[in-house]
Structure 1
Amino acid sequence: MGHCFCKPRNDDDDEDELQVEFAGGNVHLITTTDVWDEKLSEAKRDKKIVIANFTATWCAPCRVIAPFYCELSEEHPSLMFLMIDVDELTEFSSSWDIKATPTFFFLRNGRQIDKLVGANKEELQKKIKYVTG
Structure 2
Amino acid sequence: MLLGMMNILMKACGLGNWRPFYLDIIFKVQMGNCLRPSRNGSDKDSKLNFSGGNVHVIGSGEEWDEKISEANKEGKIVVANFSAAWCGPCKMITSHYTELSLKYSQLVFLTVDVDELMDLSSSLDVRATPTFFFMKDGQQIDKLVGANKPELEKKILALAESSKSSSF
TM-score, normalised with respect to structure 2: 0.68
CA shift at 1:131, angstroms?
A: 1.6
2:158 aligned partner: 130
**Deviating runs (4+, > 3 A) in structure 1?**
none
Report the Cα offset of residue 18 of structure 1. Answer: 4.8
* Structure ranking higher in strand proportion: 1
Q: Does 1:95 align with 2:142?
A: no
In the TM superposition, what are the counterparts of 1:1-133 in structure 2 within 5 Å? Answer: 14=42, 18-132=46-160, 133=162
Give, as a single letter, the amino acid of the residue that structure 2 aligns with 1:37.
D
Residues 31-83 of structure 1, C-alpha deviations (whole Å, 9 max, x = no match)? 11110011011111111100010000000000000000000000011000000
Identity of matched residues, %: 54
Aligned equivalents of 1:92, 1:14: Cα separation in 2: 25
Larger Rg: 2
Q: Which of 72-81 and 21-30 deviates more?
A: 21-30
Per-residue deviation, 1:14: 3.4
Amino acid at match of 2:143: K
Equivalent pairs counted in the alignment come to 120
- Larger helix share, 1 or 2: 2
